[in-house]
Structure 1
Amino acid sequence: MKYFVAAGEDRRLDATARKSLRGSYIQLSNGITHYELTGPAGGDVVVLTGGLTVPLFYWDETAAALHDHGLRTLAYSAYGRGYSDRVEGPYGEALLARQLLELIVDTLDESTPRHLVGASMGALVAMAYLGRHAAAPTTVTLIGPAGLSPPPMLQKLLLGNDITGGLIAKHLGQRIFDRHQRHNVRDRKRAADLAAMVDTAYHYEGSLFAFFDTLQHFPLFDRAELYRATGALPIPAMLMWGTDDQVTPISSLDHVNDLLKPEQCHVIPDCGHMVPFERPAFVAEKLAAFTAFHTKR
C-alpha cells in the first residue's frame, strides 16, 4: 500500500513536537520508538506490548497497579502508534518483532528478570519475538490474543492488492477505524475515554496509513502454528480473556488453551476486548502473583 496522509492528520512527529510530549524516545533501526520505563528500582520488569491501535498510555492504570506490587514496567508504542515514528511500511510481523527486540536490548540490563505481556495483536508480536530470539523472558502472558478468529471480508479486500487496499483506506478509512474502536470496550464511558486517548495520537501524519498497512501486511489470522510453537517453549504462560470480547472472541479460548498450554487461564466476566484498560487492578494482581512465583523459582 502506498503511504498517504489522511484528512485530519494535521500534525507532524519530529524532534520539536516530541519536546512537549510525555515519555522517552530511542532511535532503533527502523525509526524512533516512544517508550516509558517506570516503577520501583530493582524490581522485575514487565514488558507491555499493545495491540493494533493503542499507544503506550493505554497501559497507564495497569502499570501503576504493577508498580504498587513492586514491579517495574516497560511500555512502548509500536511503530505507527502513539508517538513512535510512522514508517512507510510494510507493517509486518518482522518489523514489530524487531522493534520489541531492539527496545529490550537497548533499555534493559541483560541480568534483569523480565516478563513479557502481549494484548490482542501484541500477543502475536510477543510470540513472534519469542520464536526469533534466544533471550527468553521468565514468563509470558497473553491477553485477549488475536490470531485464531476467521478473517472478515475487510481483510480479504485489503489483502487482495495495493490498489484496492489504498482506495478503501483513503476513502473509507476513518469510518472503518471509528467502527473498530467502538467494539473494543464494553462500558460506554470507558470506551469514550479510550477513543479520546487513541485519537490524540491519530492527528499525526501517517497514522491511518499505519493502521491499514498493518491490516494488509501483519498476519492476524490462521496463527495456530505460532501458538503451538509458543506452547512448546519452556516458558511459563498465562492467559486472560474477557467474556464479552467482540474483537478477538472468547470462542477461541479452548483452541488457544490446547495450543498454548498455559499454566493459568483467567476468564473475566462482563469485560470486553481491552482487559488491561477495563480491569487494570485484576490484571496487575494476577501478573504480580504469577511473576513472583516464577522469579522465586
Structure 2
Amino acid sequence: MSGPRPRHVTVDGRRVRHRVDGDGPPVVLLHGIGRSLRDFTAQHELLADGFRVHSIDLPGHGGSLPTPGPATLAGLARSVGGYLDAVGVEGPAHLVGNSLGGAVAMTLAVTAPPRVATLALVDSAGFGREVTVALRLLAVRPLARLLSRPSRALARRTERAIFHDPAYVTDERVAHALALARQPHAARVLAELVRELGTAGGVRPQWREELLTGVSRLDLPVLVVWGDRDRILPAGHLDAARARLPRARTHLFADCGHMPQIERADALHAMLREFWADASTGPARPVR
C-alpha cells in the first residue's frame, strides 16, 4: 500500500486535513477518538476504484485544527457537513465510521438526513455502556492529564489493545500514534470528548438512547460489523445493534480486534461494495 497523500482544505475558517481519490459516488471514511485518517488507508485505496473516497482527520485529530470551544459529538458531525460543503459534495454520501467515527456518522445522519446515503458502522461507539478502562479513567479529571501524557510505552499499549493480531503493532504504527498524541491540542480534545460521552462507569446512556432512536427512525440502509476480539468496545454491542436496528445488516469477524478495516481489509471491502450495490437497487435486507 502506498501511504496517504493528504491535503488541506479550509472548513469554517480552520484547516482540515483530508485525502481524496477516485471517481464515482462519494464515500466518507471517519476514524475513531485520538486517531487519524491513516486508520482507513487500506479501505481508501481499495474503494477508490469505483468511488470518490474522502478520508478526513476529524477536528482536533491528526492534521486538523480543533473547532472553537469544547470538542463535542455534535460539533464533529457539523464539521463533516461543513467539509462536504467545502469540497463540493452536494448529494448524499456513503458514510463509514469506526469507533467514535461511527457515532459521528450516525449523528450526521440524524441531524442532516439528505447528506447520507448509507451508514456502515465498524465497531462503532453508541451501542453499549462498556468501554475499555483506559477511556473510562480519562473521564476522571485528576487522572486525565497523567494518563494522556504522551509516551512510546503508552502508544504501544494502545496499539496492542486495538489489534487482536500483534503483527499489526508495528514500530511505524506506534511512532504515528505517538506523533498524534504529541499534537498540542490532542490531550485537551481527547479529554473533552471522553467526558462528554462517558464517565468512569462507562458510556453515558442519554446520548446513546437519543442517537439510536433517531437512527432507527430513518429509512436508511445500515451495515454494522464488529471484531469478536475487540478490547475497546466489546463484541456484545453487536447484539444491541441488532436489537435497536433490526433492519440493519450485521456481521461478526472472527479473530479480529477493534479495527476490521485493517485486520479484515479485503473482507470488509467486499462487504461494503455488496452492501452499497444492494442499497442502490432496493430496500436493505438484514443479513445476520
TM-score (norm 2): 0.84
Q: Distance in 1 between matches of 2:161 and 2:136?
A: 20
Q: For residue 141 of structure 1, give the secondary structure of its aligned residue in structure 2.
A: strand
Query: 1:218-297 counterparts in 2 under 5 A?
Result: 218=197, 220-222=203-205, 223-297=208-282
Query: 1:63-102 counterparts in 2 under 5 A?
Result: 63-68=44-49, 70-87=50-67, 89-102=69-82
Contact 1:239 1:262 in 2 (8 A): no
CA distance 1:72–1:63, shift in 2 (3 Å): same
CA distance 1:169–1:135, shift in 2 (3 Å): same
Q: Distance in 1 between matches of 2:38 and 2:68?
A: 23
Contact 1:150 1:221 in 2 (8 A): no
Aligned to 1:169: 144
Equivalent position to 2:180, from 182, 194, 201:
201
RMSD between aligned alpha carbons?
Answer: 2.4
CA distance 1:157–1:246, shift in 2 (3 Å): closer
Q: Distance in 1 between matches of 2:154 and 2:81?
A: 28
Aligned to 2:286: none
Larger RCO, structure (CA 8 Å, separation 6 or more): 1
CA distance 1:135–1:99, shift in 2 (3 Å): same
Q: In structure 2, list runs of 5 or more residues that go unmatched.
A: 283-288
- Which digits, 9 at most, give the CA deviation of each residue in 1:94-118, with x for residues without a partner? 211111111112213324x521111
Q: For residue 250 of structure 1, give the secondary structure of its aligned residue in structure 2.
A: coil
Quick one: which amino acid aligns to residue 199 of structure 1?
L
Quick one: which amino acid aligns to residue 97 of structure 2?
G
Quick one: which amino acid aligns to residue 266 of structure 2?
A
TM-score (norm 1): 0.81
Contact 1:90 1:217 in 2 (8 A): no
Q: Distance in 1 between matches of 2:7 and 2:132?
A: 37
Equivalent position to 2:102, from 123, 126, 129:
123
Q: In structure 1, list runs of 5 or more residues that go unmatched.
A: 1-20
Aligned to 1:183: 161
Query: Aligned residues, how many?
Result: 268
1:88 offset after TM fit, Å? 6.3
Identity %: 25
Quick one: which amino acid aligns to residue 36 of structure 1?
R
Aligned to 2:93: 114
